[in-house]
Structure 1
Amino acid sequence: MSDNLQIFSEFLGTAILVLLGDGVVAGVNLKKSKAEGAGWIAITVGWGMGLAMAVYIAGFMGPAHINPAVTLAFAAMGDFSVGLVVPFIIAQILGGIVGATIVWLAYMPLWSETDDADGILASFATAPAVRHFTANMVTEIIGTFVLVLGLLSLGENDLSDGFNPLLIGILVLSIGLSLGGPTGYAINPARDLGPRIAHQILPIANKGSSDWGYSWVPIVGPIIGGLLAAGLFTIIPF
């Protein structure tokens, strides 16, 4: 595939991921939504299946990283072109902005019905259950470590064509159920930064702060976790 097509696939895949992932959070959080109050299980299933669909959509055009932490991990291992790292990450962040914007449009009448500014922000970006930067960072490192190690391990298995994206979705579902409680499991800088930018710039009714003071945690933590997983994988004897 051409470089331009691969870059576009990262933009499109991340947009679909955020549309379906943030979409389920908005459905659960916003007042008068038919999914209002559906809870954490609905959110984690929605994100897991949303990722699976995003990988299916992006995967035939490129590697379907749709996550800067994954892109950097593969580049660090020498399995991905260093020259495409920055274009991929830019495309992923832009995809996150666009996906979040479409969520805003899809739920347009419901923002004004919701007076919970934290719930509105959660429909775009992550926030910790208990704000403790060190602990929050550790959680994001662990979650992304499991994500990248899982992705690398799936690649070493002999799987039927087309089955891998579904297993990736199950992997993220598992991470969300087991490790998502403390921070909302960003495990993807573009998934958090892109929608946070959208939250900042869009005229969303009843929104509050975009919480930029926390925004560095779901960027730095996933990158560290992904690089640690790549480092471990490179020393595993095959």
Structure 2
Amino acid sequence: MLLLLGAGVVANAVLAKTKGNAGGFLMINFGWGLAVFAGVTVSYASGAHLNPAVTIGLVTNGATEFGQGVPVNLLSILGYMGAQLVGAFIGAVLAFLAYKQHFDEEPDAGTKLAVFSTGPGIRGYGWNVVTEVLGTFVLVFVVIGFGRAEPGAGLAALGALPVALLVVGIGASLGGPTGYAINPARDLGPRLAHAILPIKGKGSSDWGYSWVPVVGPLIGGALAGLAATALLPIL
């Protein structure tokens, strides 16, 4: 759900001959926020885990269980991350099917890749990582703050709207340099889909950059979990 709607809003804003063509970055921000709203709403059974960086942040913050009593251990962590990656891949494939004719009409290979994965405005791997670390830190730190303010509530129980608005805010404030992946599965799953799908004139999947939206968010999520332990008191 997250990637179907998230990749879908990017496709609508950038691909040739769509009704939303040239909708701009703010349209994309709001679309991604609403995609998170939908994704969190329907993933309540897992504790609304859509993002490996959030999963890692909760682990470093000392979580002992995920979702409805799932114990935190290596197997459950890898299981959650694997499911997040598979879900992101499937969502991207569905978005491609929805916009297949527009992919065929779009002449620019870079624009097609942008539907699936993020890319920097200015390529500088070190600073791109810093941006992703900061954006993801804000996401995970504030998400943990939601839980602190509502003792005993998981992400799904808090409601999807606060998380959705947070994602819009991060995109509007910190999304400019890299397109704000802030979620390793959100970038890697669709990038794999781009590499595999028979997209007309698709060009490179830019694997040289692909590690940035994976490593940066994982570092940011882990740091946010550690910082929240010291800075966000349990009420």
- The TM-score with structure 2 as length reference comes to 0.91
Query: Paired residues, what number?
Result: 222
Residue 23 (1) aligns with residue 46 (2): no
Unpaired segments of 5 or more residues in structure 2? 66-71
Say yes or no: does 1:88 pair with 2:83.
no
Over residues 113-156 of structure 1, what are the superposed CA-to-partner deviations in whole Å (9 max), with x where a residue is unaligned?
00111110000000000000001000000000000001000112
Tell me the residue number matched to 1:10.
none
Give the whole-Å Cα distance in 2 for the aligned partners of 1:98 and 1:62: 18
RMSD: 1.5
Contact 1:154-1:164 within 8 A present in 2 as well: no
Using the aligned pairs only, state the percent identity. 47
Do structure 1's residue 117 and structure 2's residue 109 form an aligned pair? Answer: yes
Alignment of 1:35 with 2:49, yes or no, is no
Partner Cα distance (2:189, 2:161) in 1: 24
Q: Which residue of 2 aligns with 1:11?
A: none
Partner Cα separation in structure 2 for residue 135 and residue 118 of structure 1: 21
Distance 1:237 1:183 in 2: 28
Cα offset, 1:237, TM superposition: 6.2
- C-alpha change, 1:76 and 1:237, in structure 2 (3 Å) is closer
| d(CA) in 1 for partners of 2:157, 2:97 | 31
| Residue of structure 1 in register with 2:62 after alignment | 78
| Shift in CA distance, 180/109, structure 1 to aligned 2, threshold 3 Å | same
Cα 1:90/1:162, change in 2 over 3 Å: closer
Output aligned runs, 1:52-67, within 5 Å.
Answer: 52-59=37-44, 61-67=45-51
Q: Return the alpha-carbon distance in structure 1 between the equivalents of residues 232 and 159 of structure 2.
A: 23
Q: Which residue of 2 aligns with 1:4?
A: none
Q: Is the 8 A contact 2:88 2:190 kept in 1?
A: yes
Offset of 1:77 from its aligned partner?
2.4
Q: Secondary structure at the match of 2:101?
A: helix
| 2:193 match | 198
Q: Tell me if structure 1 keeps the 8 A contact 2:145–2:232.
A: no
4+ aligned runs moved over 3 Å, structure 1:
158-163
CA-to-partner distance for each residue in 1:165-206, whole Å, 9 max, x for gaps? 100000000000000000000000000000000000000112
Letter of the structure 2 residue corresponding to residue 178 of structure 1: S
Query: Secondary structure, in 3 states, of the residue corresponding to 2:116?
Result: coil
Instruction: Map 1:93-108 to 2 at 5 A.
Output: 93-108=85-100
Shift of 1:235: 1.4
Structure 1's 37 and 135: CA in aligned 2 closer, same or farther, altered over 3 A? same
Distance 1:227 1:99, change over 3 A: same
User: Is the Cα–Cα contact under 8 Å of residues 17 and 54 in structure 1 kept in the other structure?
Assistant: yes
Separation in 2, partners of 1:77, 1:168: 18
Q: Distance in 2 between matches of 1:156 and 1:43?
A: 30
State whether residues 148 and 232 of structure 2, in contact with CA within 8 Å, keep that contact through their aligned partners in structure 1: no
Equivalence for 1:183: 178
**Cα offset, 1:163, TM superposition:** 5.5
Distance 1:224 1:17 in 2: 22
Check conservation: 2:17, 2:102, Cα contact below 8 A: yes
**What residue in structure 2 maps to residue 235 of structure 1?**
230
Counterpart AA for 1:48: G
Deviations 1:27-65 (A, max 9, x none): 111100000000011100000011011000101x12111
Structure 2 CA distance for aligned equivalents of residues 227 and 86 of structure 1? 15
Verify: 1:223 aligned to 2:218, yes or no: yes
Instruction: State the alpha-carbon separation in 2 of the partners of residues 226 and 215 from structure 1.
Output: 18
Which of 167, 179, 194 pairs up with 2:162? 167
* Ranges in structure 1 where 5+ consecutive residues have no aligned partner: 1-15
TM-score (norm 1): 0.90
